[in-house]
Amino acid sequence: MRSVLIFISFYQFIVQGIFAQTTPVNPQLMKGYWPSSWISCPDISQRDYGVYHFRKSFDLNEKPEKFIVHVTADNRYRLFVNGVAVVSGPARGDLANWYFETVDIGSYLQRGKNIVAALVWNMGEYAAVAQVSNQTGFVLQGDGPAEQVINSDASWKVMQNNAYSPVSTDNTERLGAYMVVGPGDQVDASHFPWNWEKPEFDDSQWQYARKLVNNPVTHGYGTDNLWTLKPRNIPFMQEVMQRIPTVRRVRGLQGAAKFIDGRTPLRIPPHQKVSILLDQSVNTVAYPELIVSQGKGAHIKMTYAESLYDATGNKGNRNEIDGKEIKGNYDVFLPDGGSLRSFRPLWFKTYRYVQLDIETLDETLVLNDLYGMKTGYPFELKATFTSNDPNLTKIWDVGWRTQLICAGETYFDTPYYEQLQYEGDTRIQALITLYMSGDDRLMRKALLDFYNSKTPEGLPQGRYPSNRLQVIPTFSLFWVSMVYDYWMHRQDDEFVKQFLPSVQQVLAWYVSNMDKEKGMLGPMKWWNFVDWDAFDLWGVPEGAEDGNSAIISLQLAYTLKQAQALFAYFGEETQAQKYETLSHNLNSKTYEHAFDKDRMLMANSPLKETYSQHASILAILSGAVQGDEARTVFEKLTTDDSISKVTFFYRFYLIRAMKEVGLADRYYAQLDPWWKMLDMGLTTFAEKPEPTRTDSHAWSSSPNYDFLATIIGIMPASPGFKSVLIQPGLGELKEAEGSMPHPNGTIKVKLKRNGSGIKGTVSLPDDVDGTFKFGGKEIKLQGGTNSITL
């Protein structure tokens, strides 16, 4: 057992040491074809399901100081050097933007014989919707002459691992919910080539790899490309060991509570059926790793779930298990009787609960250990928030956990069900992670992903990367808003400028769908989603498909205002003026046709048959209603119970409208939906109010942004965050303190109620100035520490 613990500790150390891709690429390799080859396994169907092992043996006269290689695969790979897992990838993209990883493997090499090995898999027809693919392939390219001794070519050895087969392929039907994250793995240990990645393994019976027709080629070069390569533009995903703290239920066996500590093996006798329910205590994203001995012929099913379900299919309080059972995606491991056999699925799992359902045959099965390797984008929390209400820390912590498990090689809407990156979700996620970590690299990748997804009509797809086409026109507008957000928060003009032609295409598509008679949007194609629960089954409001949707007309007007500011900044005055005029006209005509002056609400369409908070929120944000009238509209939309209400997604825009009409002080009282989720035992925030499909949905973490942007009131006042606006909305709070990363340092704000006034300090980076606003008064802020008394 001691050997297992040593292995775990060493593996944890290795993985934590490779978080970031910072190694430069030889410039010559970015100018066309690589000397290496795309390789695959002979005699296979190249686009079907398959798991493969590649190996290359080579000798070194001495241990190198550095040994840089570039590696990628379709669908996925995991690279080992002398038996040690070094890097996984590639970062998800598409065929025209296929990412490769760069890593220095010098520290893993030794004098004499060395082995570089790769686990490569293609999920074929079972692949996650987020996985774009051409065919099975693997590439390893040395950076310079010394490293090119291991370039992938026909000298590499390869075998197909038939121990793997796909399971849990019916998740959508079985769970009654859209689930497209790919299959589970069944591994038959009796067919597994144990220790295949280690130098001492005998690969003499393996085949030589098959070279594919096309050599690897980088972006901007080549012809007839199967994949077009780009350097990875985000850090490597983290992996950190985490133990499962609690055994919640055991059936069919006594004394199972201790094996999860890693020091107390659990023995399951022959001919037993045992069920063990484990509780991570919070939702997590991890690679579970199960280590077993003996138990030849046993069957181990591992089921993963965010929550348990009662007999009626309800989740109820997530902490309660009585009368509830697990259902979810699963893996299966079939032991062969060997010692210390390790099972790890090819792709990570999302879970709070894990259930082992075990059936043994003629041999005792020993469960040596089970733990998770927590994974995800390595965001580092740099923001802080405290107040005189310590309970707000609970929302802050749960919201941040939600963000972390909804971020990998892309932003995820939900890590359990989809792992897809949608503009509507991503805009909110990107703002949260900018404020809380200051790390903009995943936001930059998201902007590029959507930019690369454009359809012939000029709209970015509603989610991307994706191997299925989905167009959500409203989300195309949110992509424009993301470009605007990045421009306001980062001084990065060349990066932003590249998107302006695509912004024009998005807005031109909408203009082409105008109803010229009414001056609003006419009928529109595709999926015009706005929000769940408020409209039809698909979240589409009145007028979207048959014409004259006030909601989407006003979202367009809101987005045109942002586009006007962008184009004016970049000197495109004619285009800026055009967008300003279009926005004004849309607001005017939508107000004329759809605003109900008796109810002081914006209807969903000129028919004035249905009303929603969404329509009036966008009337405020677009400027269709202003001043005292806008405030009256806000009061009506928050008090009229007859209109459709926003869910967690659109609450983000509800708060933007609240701030627009000068009522930010009401924000603190708007947190009841989050208190309800905490009371229900959720450890991440859900997609929508109960009943909800998923318990982890990143758009529901908007309080993490608003604690800083609304309560503390920190906002960029000019492009690139060159100046700052601090306009706090403490509400009933007496004290609040927060800090957030800024491109030039840290912004720190400490505030305390002073009767009807306020006092405190604001600290800005030295080269940043700004304005503090409160109660209709202003104080100019300079770099350094500023005292506030109003």
Q: What is the 3-state secondary structure (H, E, C) of 652-679?
A: HHHHHHHHHCCCHHHHHHHCHHHHHHHH
CB 758 within 8 A of CB 787: no
Q: Is residue 124 a part of any domain in this protein?
A: yes
What's the distance, CA 253 to chain centroid?
A: 39
Length of the chain equals: 790
pLDDT recorded at residue 18? 38
C-alpha distances in angstroms, 311 versus 238, 321, 351?
A: 38, 12, 20
pLDDT recorded at residue 7? 35
Q: Identify whether residues 498 and 594 lie together within a single domain.
A: no
> Mind giving me the DSSP string for 472-501?
-HHHHHHHHHHHHHHHHH---HHHHHTTHH
- Sheet holding 735-742: strands in order across? 384-387, 735-742, 745-754, 757-764, 784-789
Q: Is residue 31 a part of any domain in this protein?
A: yes
Domain count, the chain: 5
Q: Is residue 165 a part of any domain in this protein?
A: no
**Residue 745: which CATH number?**
2.60.420.10
Q: What's the pLDDT tens digit per position in 116-136?
A: 999 999 999 999 999 999 999
C-alpha distances in angstroms, 379 versus 79, 395, 486, 630?
A: 23, 18, 18, 38
Q: What's the pLDDT tens digit per position in 475-520?
A: 999 999 999 999 999 999 999 999 999 999 999 999 999 999 999 9
Q: Is residue 177 a part of any domain in this protein?
A: no
What's the distance, CA 748 to chain centroid?
A: 28
Q: Amino acid identity of 364? A: T
pLDDT recorded at residue 756? 87
Residue 71: give the domain boundaries: 20-160+192-236
Q: Is residue 683 a part of any domain in this protein?
A: no
Q: What's the pLDDT tens digit per position in 321-356?
A: 999 999 999 999 999 999 999 999 999 999 999 999
Q: Is residue 210 a part of any domain in this protein?
A: yes
HSE, side-chain direction, 13 A CA sphere, residue 685: 30
Q: pLDDT class for 20, splitting at 50, 70, 90?
A: low
336 membership: H or E segment, kind and range: none
Give the pairing of strands 341-343 and 723-726. unpaired
**Listed residues 236, 270, 293: the one ending a domain:** 236
Q: What's the pLDDT tens digit per position in 267-311?
A: 999 999 999 999 999 999 999 999 999 999 999 999 999 999 999
Q: Is residue 313 a part of any domain in this protein?
A: yes
Q: What is the pTM of this model?
A: 0.96
Q: Identify whether residues 656 and 577 lie together within a single domain.
A: yes
pLDDT recorded at residue 256? 82
Task: Say if residue 719 is preceded by a cis peptide, omega within 30 of 0.
Answer: no
Residue 554 vs residue 9, higher pLDDT: 554
Q: Identify whether residues 270 and 309 lie together within a single domain.
A: yes
Q: Identify whether residues 244 and 224 lie together within a single domain.
A: no
Q: Identify whether residues 210 and 114 lie together within a single domain.
A: yes
Q: Identify whether residues 643 and 549 lie together within a single domain.
A: yes
Q: What's the pLDDT tens digit per position in 708-765?
A: 999 999 999 999 999 999 999 999 999 999 999 999 999 999 999 988 899 999 999 9
Residue 6 phi, psi (nearest 5): -65, -45
Q: Identify whether residues 84 and 123 lie together within a single domain.
A: yes
For residues 490, 494, 495 and 497, what is the CA-based torsion angle, rounded to 10 degrees? 100
C-alpha distances in angstroms, 266 versus 44, 244, 253, 261?
A: 41, 15, 10, 11
pLDDT recorded at residue 15? 38
Q: Identify whether residues 521 and 594 lie together within a single domain.
A: yes
Q: pLDDT class for 254, splitting at 50, 70, 90?
A: confident
Q: pLDDT class for 1, splitting at 50, 70, 90?
A: very low
The neighbour count for residue 674, using CB atoms within 10 Å, is 22
**Listed residues 711, 746, 777: the one ending a domain:** 711
Q: Identify whether residues 635 and 724 lie together within a single domain.
A: no
**Residue 101: which CATH number?**
2.60.120.260
Beta bridge partners of 463: 422
405 membership: H or E segment, kind and range: helix 392-405
**Listed residues 171, 205, 236: the one ending a domain:** 236
What mean pLDDT, rounded, does the chain reach?
Answer: 96
Q: What radius of gyration do the chain's Cα atoms show? A: 28
pLDDT above 50 (res 660) = yes
Q: pLDDT class for 21, splitting at 50, 70, 90?
A: low
**Residue 392: which CATH number?**
1.50.10.10
14-37 per-residue burial string, b: 16 or more CB within 10 A, e: under 16: bbeebbebeeebeeebeeeebebb
**Angle, vertex CA 358, rays to CA 352 and CA 360, nearest 5:** 165
pLDDT recorded at residue 617? 98
pLDDT above 50 (res 9) = no
pLDDT recorded at residue 255? 81
Q: Identify whether residues 204 and 69 lie together within a single domain.
A: yes
Q: Is residue 395 a part of any domain in this protein?
A: yes
Q: What is the C-alpha separation between 550 and 556, in angstroms, rounded?
A: 10
Q: Identify whether residues 309 and 335 lie together within a single domain.
A: yes
C-alpha distances in angstroms, 307 versus 256, 414, 505, 659?
A: 22, 14, 43, 36
Task: List alpha helices for 29-123, DSSP H.
Answer: none
pLDDT recorded at residue 25? 95
Q: pLDDT class for 16, splitting at 50, 70, 90?
A: very low
What's the distance, CA 673 to chain centroid?
A: 23
Q: What's the pLDDT tens digit per position in 383-409?
A: 999 999 999 999 999 999 999 999 999
Q: Identify whether residues 645 and 704 lie together within a single domain.
A: no
